[in-house]
Amino acid sequence: MAGSLNGLDEDKCQALQHRMVLLFPDVGAYSNWRKRARTLNLKIPTATFTVHDEMERTATDEERANGADMGDRWVGEWIKHKFKR
């Protein structure tokens, strides 16, 4: 829906009322996304925005250098699995 922190605004998120929303930020962006989630939780109290810290906790040095996100990781893992012979 948003694709970036700048796209995650109150107007767009109104459609998420009465939903639980999990956010998976790029490595290094967790703090900013957490602040935005807190703001959205206050402005849209019927929705719950939660920021997942998987990438912050488990990113490799290469992922950190590239500012990777979960999509990058999932695609990389899929490729490794798909072409493993």
For the chain, give the mean pLDDT: 90
Q: With 90 as the cut, is the pLDDT of residue 43 above it?
A: yes
Confidence of residue 1 (pLDDT cuts 50, 70, 90): very low
Q: How far is it, in rounded angstroms, from Cα 85 to Cα 72?
A: 22
Domain locations in the chain as residue ranges: 5-82
- Would you list the DSSP string of 45-76? TTSEEEE--HHHHH--HHHHHHT--HHHHHHH
Indicate whether this model's pTM tops 0.75: yes
Average of per-residue pLDDT across 61-76: 89
